[in-house]
A = this chain, B = another copy of it.
Amino acid sequence: MGQRLVPSSVLRSMLYLLLLIPVLAQAADALPSWRDGPSRQAIEAFVSAVTGEGSPNYRKPAERIAVFDNDGTLWSEQPLYFELLFSMAEVKRLAPEHPEWKTQQPFQAVLEDDHKALAEQGMDGMLKIVAATHSGMSTEDFLARSRSWLASARHPKTGRPYTEMVFQPMLELLDYLRSNGFRTYIVSGGEVAFMRAFAEEVYGIPPEQVIGTTLAAEYKDSDGKPIIERLAKLAHNDDGPGKPVSIEAVIGRRPLLAFGNSDGDLQMLQWTMAGEGRRFAALVHHTDGQREWAYDRNSNVGRLDKALDAAGQQGWAVVDMAKEWRRVYPFDKE
């Protein structure tokens, strides 16, 4: 018996394989930004249960509908909903054409950067600003405006484009669900055309799977060409009880999985979980004041109070962002 029991070439191959193990493990992990916490375990257990052939909870792909809120669930929503920041920028841009806004709320508050006065206008004021800046033009023109702002605007805290302030773990979750035969939908209070301006590129969610607040619209002739003109009139407010209503109207099936982050998602989660068979509801809990923002029961934006109580009572997953997410944004280092 000599010193070299194993030829060096075999040793080299074994060493190479050992080096490969972490790479292979990472390649097999569809959710690398999720720590091995309770939320990740609950998600994986649910997906196995409804997709495993022969599982008593098996659902065919046609039934695998997953719905996601957008603001605070797929991307950040502080210090204000990003679409509201867009609308405020548009109010300023369009102000020369609207001298009356100087003395008319909520526009005056926007023009004077009076956040206190603006907050006093509440949801009504917000909808007025959205309606005024999202209407009076064709769908194509609005799409171009939205994309122009998204391309140039930067977030006041991070200095990043808003479309980079999406949650890396949620991007992975969307992909993971799709690779398991789910169709992923957005069901959000955001205006539908604004979200469609980036949802396909950023989330891989095509326009027909984006559901949101809608304005009335009119089919009309514009110099011999038909256009669809957006009107300054709310057609559907896709918040709270409006979410299950729009899910039923547009999809016509009850989701198997619903993900939200605020009281505005409560009814969507309730509606999902009231269906028969195994279903899954979860909330993103903004616990990370370091990497993102920490807020819940007392926040004006994305208040999470009743839905947090419901989650506790019903056993819904509550994602502790600080503890369960390795990264928050794609640009974060681990």
Contact = CB atoms under 8 A, between A and B. Distances in A.
Interface in A260-294: 267, 270-271, 274
Interface stretch (A73-81, A161-169, A241-249): A241-249
A62 B205 CA distance: 11
Given A218-B245, A225-B274, A228-B245, A208 B251 contact: yes
Interface string A122-143: 0000000000000000010000
A150 interface: no
Contacts of A207: 251-253
A225 B273 CA distance: 10
Nearest to A211: B250
Nearest to A139: B248
Contact of A252 (B210, B251, B270): B210
A214 interface: yes
For chain A, the bracket of interface size reads 20 to 34
A251 B225 CA distance: 21
A304 interface: no
A140 B128 CA distance: 35
Contacts of A249: 192, 214, 217, 235
A274 B222 CA distance: 12
A252 B193 contact: yes
A136 to B, nearest CB: 16
Given A196-B252, A245-B228, A250-B250, A271 B206 contact: no
B206 A218 contact: no
Nearest to A62: B206
Nearest to A243: B219
B244 A219 contact: yes
A219 to B, nearest CB: 4
Among A139, A208, A218, A271, residue most surrounded by chain B Cβ atoms (within 10 Å): A208
Interface in A188-219: 192-193, 196, 206-208, 210, 214, 217-219
A159 interface: no
A19 B235 CA distance: 62
A153 to B, nearest CB: 22
A293 B139 CA distance: 40
Nearest to A200: B62
A225 B244 CA distance: 13
Contacts of A242: 219
B252 A208 contact: yes
Given A207-B253, A210-B252, 17 more contacts: A139-B248, A192-B249, A192-B252, A193-B252, A207-B252, A217-B245, A217-B248, A218-B245, A219-B242, A219-B244, A219-B267, A226-B267, A226-B270, A226-B271, A228-B244, A228-B245, A235-B249
5 contacts: A208-B252, A210-B252, A217-B245, A226-B267, A250-B250
- Please list the 6 inter-chain residue pairs (A to B) with the smallest Cβ-Cβ separation, ordered nearest first: A207-B252, A219-B241, A208-B251, A219-B244, A217-B245, A228-B248
Interface of A: 62, 139, 192-193, 196, 206-208, 210, 214, 217-220, 225-226, 228, 235, 241-242, 244-245, 248-253, 267, 270-271, 274
